[in-house]
Structure 1
Amino acid sequence: MTLSEFLAQHADSDKLLNEMQTRGVVTAMAAAPHVISPSEWLPLLWGGEEQAPFENHEQFEDYANLIVDIWNEQRQQLLDKQWHWPEGCALDDAEIVNQATRDFAEGLLQGWSLTRDDWEILMPENTESNALLGGVVLSISLLYDPETALSTMEAQGAEELAQFEEIYNAMPIMLCGLTHHGAALAEDQERS
């Protein structure tokens, strides 16, 4: 069973993040420099509530297994530098990016919020590493809310929709690079 099939079959799925938001959160957790137990971040997928919105333990187990499988796949793709946008994410001529891309970026930002401290300890302010991290997070933010970003750019005299295409196309490379760098820094920290 896929995540989309699970969400379509379960009545309580409206209490869960949608598929792209979920994939964004899971990708952020897979990119994190330190592996964080799913028990710490799974509640984010249903709004942080203490009680999971499932009818029974088997449903929860099915859902958790799907999420862990996605995490494993994403982590491997990020470390192998093979990660790519999920199917359905795309640029859009009228809206700059489509809703799936916005949802994915929203989930990615939510996931970053849980791992922020880990990133900032490994990549402190005023370092090249922090500049890399800032660039990735800024790019994700631009893809989450491109209209605001475009308005700001227009106010400064730049009207380049092509910049969003560059950001979108560069995101796989940036995210893989950040994951690799974070994992190397975390490994060095553990050895110290």
Structure 2
Amino acid sequence: MTISLAQFITENGLEPFVLSATQTEGFITAMAAAPNLIDPSEWLAFMWGGEEEAPFNNHEQLEAYATIIIDMWNQQRDALLSNEWQWPDVCALSDAEIVNQATREYCEGMLQGWTLARDDWETLMPEDSQENALLGGVLLSISLLFDPESALATMDELGAAELAQFEEIFNGMPVMLCGLTMRANQMVEQQ
């Protein structure tokens, strides 16, 4: 029986020391979408805040955690490249808060992960390229879903509140993110 990341974190008392399971999954999704594969050994420490010392009791615990992370990365990468990625079941829209807390955490993790691959994205899809519009659309959508209240307020100030169609953004994210990942992969293979 495989253990879920959330269960592993809880059973080992790691909640105060590592990103939440939802943030972690968002981070891993960003790493899986990256145009150039980044070895997990280069980003695994970000799961516990980039500290040099891992918060695990022993090497076996670290190894079990890393295995869960790498398995999750493989699943996310496969789903993105096969156009099958979907929001995790815990992520949803909310009548009261536009999106639920899990969606915010997932998007926060994705934005954190994007920062690590930013140079690769900017090199592959420079500002003046057609592909940059796709990249910008995905990043804007993730940002809007991470903090929808601020986005609404800003758009309202600009007289553009009608642009904030969060349901469409949320529902369109799988197509956009898969499309971006597949296009980046195609471009990297052509280089």
| Bin for the TM-score computed over the shorter chain | over 0.9
1:52 maps onto 2:57 in alignment = no
| Counterpart mapping for 1:128-167 below 5 A | 128-160=130-162, 163-167=165-169
| Percent of pairs with identical residues | 61
Q: Is the 8 A contact 2:35 2:184 kept in 1?
A: yes
Deviation at 1:33, TM superposition (A): 0.7
> Could you tell me how far apart the structure 1 residues matched to 2:108 and 2:102 are?
10
Q: Is the 8 A contact 1:96 1:161 kept in 2?
A: no
| Counterpart mapping for 1:97-112 below 5 A | 97-112=99-114
One-letter identity of the residue aligned with 1:73: Q
Query: Is the alpha carbon distance of 1:12 and 1:4 closer, same or farther for their aligned partners in structure 2, counting shifts above 3 Å?
Result: closer
Alignment size in residue pairs: 189
Cα distance per residue 1:76-112 (max 9 Å; x no partner): 0001100000111000011000000000000000000
SS state at 2:169 partner: helix
One-letter identity of the residue aligned with 1:79: L
Q: Which runs of 4+ in 1 moved over 6 A?
A: none
| Counterpart mapping for 1:35-74 below 5 A | 35-74=37-76
> Could you tell me how far apart the structure 2 residues matched to 1:50 and 1:130 are?
35
Aligned to 1:119: 121
Aligned to 1:179: 181
Deviation at 1:161, TM superposition (A): 8.2
TM-score, length-normalised on structure 1? 0.95
> Could you tell me how far apart the structure 2 residues matched to 1:164 and 1:137 are?
14
> Could you tell me how far apart the structure 1 residues matched to 2:39 and 2:74 are?
12
Deviation at 1:11, TM superposition (A): 2.0
| Counterpart mapping for 1:13-52 below 5 A | 13-52=15-54
Deviation at 1:14, TM superposition (A): 1.6
TM-score, length-normalised on structure 2? 0.96
> Could you tell me how far apart the structure 2 residues matched to 1:160 and 1:97 are?
17
Query: Is the alpha carbon distance of 1:18 and 1:161 closer, same or farther for their aligned partners in structure 2, counting shifts above 3 Å?
Result: farther
> Could you tell me how far apart the structure 1 residues matched to 2:129 and 2:186 are?
16
